[in-house]
Amino acid sequence: MLKDQEFLRIPGPTPIPPSVMRASIEPMIGHRDPRMDELLAHLVPRLKPLFGTEKGEVFILAGSGTLALETSLLNLTRPHDKVLMLVTGAFGERFMKIAKAHGRDVLVHHTPWGEAVQPEDVQAYLKDHPDLRAVIATHSETSTGVANPIADIAEVVKKHSEALMIVDAVSSLGGMPLNMDRLGIDAVATGSQKALMSPPGLALLALGERAQEVLETMDSPRFYNDLRLYRESFKQHTVPFTPAVSLLFALNQALSLIEAEGLEAVFERHRLLRDMTRKGVQAMGLPLLVQDDRKSSWTVTAVRPDPKVASAKQIRTMLHEHFGIVFAAGQGKIKDDIFRIGHMGYVSPSDVLQYIAALESTLALIQKKQPDGSGVRAAQEVYHAWHTK
């Protein structure tokens, strides 16, 4: 294997398009420079379609997706407010830890890892706890590859409660449709380093109309991530604190690529990548953690190999050694049981065929047999059916 050739197929950070990388190394400018004002004025409205909002406010902070999660909590709830956390994996648990660290009264609904939240379970909590301040859910649970039924959950919340609906869309925004306005979602948080094809370091957050009203009266302690400061600065197309200038250059170019492809085409590509990956993996006899296609993320797939055949770590290690392809380990309590394939952002069907073929060869090396091409053939069949329908 070429030592400086590596193919990143993890659920973030994701590969960066060459034009985005070039944009990130443009000459530095001052963050009070008129050119920065122009860039911010250009960026914010172009992010709105990704969140599915016309009425919402979009904020950009220097920080990771975790900062976006924490920022949504601090700007929309107070200490001791009761919040319902819908936990389906490691990142739901992370949001839960954020809420507990900030003194919220946290109710936790745990769903078995690999399964999605049932909307009727949410309804039961709403009935028993009419004083809920917020319901917090993960759209695409990166640690398991589950896609929670956000539309159905949001409908239940809207029908049975005055609670705010906050969504972690860190590994879904830009790869899966999420229409804030239509679904009545109050806040959506994400980061730059996944489906948005940009380097890590930008926290992105959108607030719907109800959340914007709450923001005005919220007295929860905060400073750097006080969105009221950003709101006032953004009115002047500037920022309250030093921004990640180079990352804004990168995001600007990434949005240009998304716009050139067309947002609906971007979503369709991600769904195709998911289907090719799932069918290819299944054809090799590898079990998927999420069994139901309808509940599977469009951006990440978790595979749970039979340890009698090969461990997840052995597969990942050999795949990297022989082919330079990087899959991610599991997280939390299933850390050693699965490997995760990221297929979001700057990824094409040819990339899927590459890693499916390499995975098939890796399994054959482990089992000391010849690969039969079943995985690649299954992925190809999905691709051809998709383009001939």
**Same domain flag for 23 and 167:** yes
Q: Last residue of some domain: 206, 238, 260? A: 260
Residue whose tokens read 């329908």: 389
Res. 95: pLDDT tops 80: yes
Report how many domains make up the chain. 2
CATH number at residue 316: 3.90.1150.10
pLDDT in tens, 366-386: 999 999 999 999 999 999 999
Prediction pTM value: 0.96
97 with 236, same domain: the answer is yes
The 10s digit of each residue's pLDDT in 173-188 is: 999 999 999 999 999 9
Same domain? For 242 and 292 the reply is no
**pLDDT tens, residue by residue, 308-335:** 999 999 999 999 999 999 999 999 999 9
Same domain, 271 and 247: no
Residue 389: the pLDDT is 76
On whether both 223 and 280 belong to a single domain, the answer is no
Share of the chain above pLDDT 70, in %: 100
- Give Dmax over CA atoms of the chain in angstroms: 66
Is there a single domain that holds both residue 83 and residue 133?
Answer: yes
Condensed to tens digits (0 to 9), the pLDDT of residues 156-173 reads 999 999 999 999 999 999
Q: Judge whether 2 lies within some domain.
A: no
Position 155 scores a pLDDT of 97
Mean pLDDT confidence for 351-375: 96
CATH code for the domain of 128: 3.40.640.10
Final residue before a domain boundary, out of 241, 260, 279: 260
Residue 1 lies in a domain: no
Mark whether 203 and 346 lie in a shared domain. no
Per-residue pLDDT averaged across 132-160, rounded? 97
Query: If you count them, how many residues does the chain have?
Result: 389
State the DSSP string of 127-161: HH-TT--EEEEESEETTTTEE--HHHHHHHHHHH-
pLDDT tens-digit map of 59-82: 999 999 999 999 999 999 999 999
Average the pLDDT over 207-223 and give the result.
95
Tell me, yes or no, whether 110 and 256 share the same domain.
yes
Same domain, 191 and 111: yes
Position 251 scores a pLDDT of 98
Question: Do residues 216 and 90 both lie within one domain?
Answer: yes
332, 256: one domain: no
Q: Which residues contact 119 (CB under 8 A, 6 or more apart)?
A: 149, 152, 153, 155, 156
Quote the domain boundaries for residue 346: 7-13+263-388
Kindly report the number of other CB atoms within 10 A of residue 379's CB atom: 26
Domain's final residue, options 260, 279, 295: 260
Q: Considering the domain boundaries, does residue 208 fall inside one?
A: yes
Quick check: is 71 in a domain?
A: yes
